[in-house]
Structure 1
């Protein structure tokens, strides 16, 4: 699968129009305050270009960020350095975490969990989080809902066009996995340069996510609709989970 390579260089130009990272950050930090989370060590999983890392890291003494794409980490490194933030950036698969330390807050935002296509990988990911989470720490992550992937993304085509970037986004859904084929045309002086990316996400039902969390020793303490104080419904598109280690 070819994803988050050349796309990394234009990622922020596209995503910042749709995602309110400031609101997400405020919700996460508010949850930390309510739950008395110690603001010592923070870990951002699938950090991408570091948008969430940039906003949350200043509130913690030490911060780490993990992503599988070297290209995304390169963008994150430049951004965080420009903000004079000292972050430990690590290229690693989130389903194979081996950082040899524990954290007070772990986040994994913007449906990165859906990129884990096998339930075994999902459980390995949750076990890794369990092993890296302090006893009083919390893990906050979100997923594209089953409804969004199967009813909205599904077998649809989307287009985008402005003065600098044009793309065609074609989706094909089969066996609860959506294959997303993106063709980009980027304006460089008077010439448009093309590149292609292929992304895959799995539609997980809540019961599958919640069974895996429980099986890995993680306890759900909060569940929200898109980082808002709203209950999840059958038509929620982004579901946010707040979990901690299960206490006997």
Structure 2
């Protein structure tokens, strides 16, 4: 599956029109204050180009970012260095995390958890988080809701057109997994370059996620609708979990 390769170079241009990272950052920082999370070591899983890492890293003594895409990490490195931020960037699969270090705060945002497609890898992911979390640490992650994947993304096609970027986004849903085929046309001087990407996400119900969390000795502190101060509704598009170790 080709994923986040050439897309890395235009990722911020597209995502920043839809995602307000300031809102996410403020909610995460407020949760850290409310729960007295130490400002020691921070880890951002599936950090991508470092948009959230950039905002949270200055509040911690050390910051780490992990992603499976070399291209995304390259973009993150350039961005963080330009801001004068020292962040340790590691290429690893978050389902097999092995950093030999514990963290006061771990995040995994922007539906990266949905990219984990089977129960074994989901359990390994949550177990890895447990093993890397301080005894008083907090893990915050979000998922595209079951409603969003099955009713909004589903078997639908979306298009986007601007002066510099045009894309066609075709989705096919089967057995709770949505296959997303994206075709991009990027303006390069007088020509447009084409490239294709294939992404897959699984639709997880809250009950399913919460059972796996319990199995992995992680208990829920709070559950939110898209980083807002309200609980999820049946039609929420993004569900946020803040969890701690059950020890």
TM-score (norm 1): 0.99
**After superposition, what is the alpha-carbon deviation per residue over 1:123-168, rounded to whole angstroms, capped at 9, x for unaligned?**
0000000000000000000000000000000000000000000000
Match of 1:63 in 2: 63
Residue 97 of structure 2 corresponds to residue 97 of structure 1: yes
Q: Helix, strand or coil: the match of 1:121?
A: helix
Match of 1:179 in 2: 179
Residue 134 of structure 2 corresponds to residue 139 of structure 1: no
Q: Helix, strand or coil: the match of 2:179?
A: strand
Match of 2:26 in 1: 26
Match of 1:164 in 2: 164
Query: 2: distance between equivalents of 1:92 and 1:8?
Result: 17
Residue 74 of structure 2 corresponds to residue 74 of structure 1: yes
The count of residues paired between Structure 1 and Structure 2 equals 247
Q: How much has 1:75 moved relative to structure 2?
A: 0.1
Match of 2:229 in 1: 229
Q: How much has 1:49 moved relative to structure 2?
A: 0.2
Calculate the aligned-residue CA RMSD, in Å. 0.4
Query: 2: distance between equivalents of 1:37 and 1:229?
Result: 19
Query: 2: distance between equivalents of 1:22 and 1:60?
Result: 17
Query: 1: distance between equivalents of 2:188 and 2:237?
Result: 35
User: What stretches of structure 2 of length at least 5 have no aligned partner?
Assistant: none
Query: 2: distance between equivalents of 1:13 and 1:233?
Result: 30
Query: 2: distance between equivalents of 1:215 and 1:169?
Result: 36
Match of 1:8 in 2: 8
Query: 1: distance between equivalents of 2:186 and 2:230?
Result: 38
Query: 1: distance between equivalents of 2:43 and 2:245?
Result: 16
Q: How much has 1:230 moved relative to structure 2?
A: 1.1
Q: Helix, strand or coil: the match of 1:197?
A: strand
Query: 2: distance between equivalents of 1:130 and 1:215?
Result: 11
State the 4+ residue runs in structure 1 displaced beyond 6 angstroms. Answer: none
Q: Helix, strand or coil: the match of 1:24?
A: helix
Q: How much has 1:197 moved relative to structure 2?
A: 0.1
Query: 2: distance between equivalents of 1:74 and 1:108?
Result: 19
Q: How much has 1:231 moved relative to structure 2?
A: 1.1
**After superposition, what is the alpha-carbon deviation per residue over 1:5-55, rounded to whole angstroms, capped at 9, x for unaligned?**
000000000000000001100000000000000000000000000000000
Query: 1: distance between equivalents of 2:183 and 2:49?
Result: 20
Residue 214 of structure 2 corresponds to residue 204 of structure 1: no
Query: 1: distance between equivalents of 2:189 and 2:121?
Result: 43
Q: Helix, strand or coil: the match of 1:139?
A: strand
Query: 2: distance between equivalents of 1:102 and 1:149?
Result: 33
